[in-house]
Amino acid sequence: MRPTGIWFESYAAEARVLETLRARLWLLALLAALVLLPAVAGPWLLGEFTNLFITLVAVYGLYVTVGMAGQINIAQSAFVGVGAFTAAKLSGMGVPIWATIPAGALAAGCISIVFALPAWRVKGFYLALTTLAAQVMFPIVILALPMSWLGGLVGMPVMPPTLFGLNLGTPTGLYFLGLFVAALATWTAFNLPRSRIGRAFRAVHDNDSAASVMGIQVTRIKIEAFFAGALYAGVAGAVLAYFLQFVTVSSFTLFTSVWYLGMLIVGGLHSPVGPILGVVFVTLLQEGLHKFANAMLQADGGLGGGTVFALSSVVLALCILIALIFEPRGLAHLWHTGMKAFRLWPFPRN
C-alpha cells in the first residue's frame, strides 16, 4: 500500500527498489555515515563493522539459495572456507587482491555444484543432509591434503592486501574493502529478484512441478541457485582471509553455518532486508553477551564469567527461538509493516 500522491508513469519507475526521493536520500545519508565512520571510530569498532560486512555477504548467499530458490543449505561456512583458502593460497603466490577475490568466489561456486547435483532428485530434509556432507567433508579434505598445499592442521598465512599501491591491510583499509563488497552484494541481492533468473528461483521455490510445466529447467535452476549462493560465500571467505590474516579449518565449522542460517531465519527468508536485520540483530546480541561476560569476569575473578561465556550460545539460541515464535516471518516483516505505517501516517491503514 502506498500513500496518496505517489504514482508512476512507467513500469521501470514502479519496479525501482527505492520508490521515492525520500528513500534515496536516506540511503545516501546512510552511505555517507558509513564512509565517514573511520574518521571517528577506533580500530576495534572498525574491526567489528568489517566482520559484520563479511557476515552479511555470506548470509546474502543463503538468501539466494534458501530464501529465493527454497534449497536448504547448511554448508555455507564450508563454501566460505573454500573462498578463504583459495585467497590465502593465491595471495602467497603474489596474486593481487582484484584477482584473488573473484577466484575465491569461482572456486566456491564450482565446488558447490558437486553438492547441488543431488537437488535433482531429493529435496527438504534429504537435501539438508547432502549439504551437511559438504560441511563435514571440508575439514577432512583440508587436513588430508599435503601440508604444503593448504597448510593442513596449522593453517595458512595471508599476505596483506594491496590495491594500486595502497595498503589495505590496515583496519581502515579492511573496513573500506568490507564496505565495498557488502554494498555490491546488497545491490545484487536487491536487484536479483527482479531479474529473469530471480523470477525462476521464485517459481522453483513455490512449486517446482508447476515451474517445470511453465518451461523452466528446474534442475539447472537449482544448481544455479547453489552456484550463486556459493559465489557470495566465496567472496565473503576471500575478504575474511585478509581480515583474519591467517586461515585454519577451525574457523569454518558447522556451528558457523548454523548461525548463518539462524541469522537469515531471524531476519526474514523472503526479503533482501532480512539478511541485514538478522545479521545486525544477532551480532549486537552476541556483542552484548560478550560484554556482560567480560564484566562478570572482572567482577568476581572469573567465577561466573566463564559460565556466561559457556551459556552465551544457549542464550542466543533461545533468543532466536523466541523471535521465531512471535514473528515467524522474521524481522523484515516488522520492518515492512512499520515502514508502511510510517508512510501512511497520520491516516488510518484500514
Characterize the bridge pairing of strands 166-167 and 246-247: unpaired
Mean pLDDT of 244-267: 90
Distance CA 245, CA 52 (A): 17
* Angle made by CA atoms 150, 72, 231, in degrees to the nearest 5: 45
| Residue 81's pLDDT band (cuts 50, 70, 90) | very high
Residue 120 has pLDDT above 90, yes or no: no
pTM: 0.90
pLDDT at 306 over 70: no
Lowest mean pLDDT among 49-53, 92-96, 338-342: 338-342
Res. 5 pLDDT band, cuts 50 70 90: low
Model confidence at 302, in pLDDT bands (50, 70, 90)? low
63-87: average pLDDT: 92
**Percent of the chain scoring above 70 in pLDDT:** 89
Number of Cβ atoms within 10 Å of the Cβ of 36: 10
Q: How far apart are CA 108 and CA 97, in angstroms?
A: 17
Query: Which has more pLDDT, 66 or 318?
Result: 66
**pLDDT band at residue 147 under the 50/70/90 scheme:** confident
Angstrom CA distances, 259 to 232, 265, 316, stand at 16, 10, 10
Q: Once rounded to an integer, what is the mean pLDDT over residues 297-303? A: 62
d(CA 76, CA 63): 11
Q: Would you call the peptide bond into 346 cis, given omega within 30 degrees of 0 as the criterion?
A: yes
Question: How high is the pLDDT of residue 279?
Answer: 93
3-state DSSP helix/strand/coil % of the chain, to nearest 5: 75, 0, 25
Q: Report, as an integer, the average pLDDT of 184-195.
A: 92
Average pLDDT, the chain: 85
On whether the CB atoms of residues 53 and 182 are closer than 8 A, the answer is: yes
pLDDT grade for 111, boundaries at 50, 70 and 90: very high
For 255-311, give the secondary structure using H, E and C.
HHHHHHHHHHHHHCCCCCHHHHHHHHHHHHHHHHHHHHHHHHHHHHCCCCHHHHHHH
Confidence of residue 234 (pLDDT cuts 50, 70, 90): very high
**Pick from 58-62, 96-100, 308-312: least confident:** 308-312
pLDDT at 186: 95
> Taking a C-beta distance cutoff of 8 angstroms, is the pair 72, 226 a contact?
no
- 62 vs 115, higher pLDDT: 62
Which band of pLDDT confidence, cut at 50, 70 and 90, is reported for residue 61?
Answer: very high
pLDDT for 82-104, tens place per residue?
Answer: 999 999 999 988 889 999 999 99
pLDDT score, position 350: 52
How many CB atoms are located within 10 Å of the residue 199 CB? 15
Q: What is the pLDDT of residues 15-49, one digit of tens each?
A: 777 777 778 898 999 999 999 999 998 899 999 99
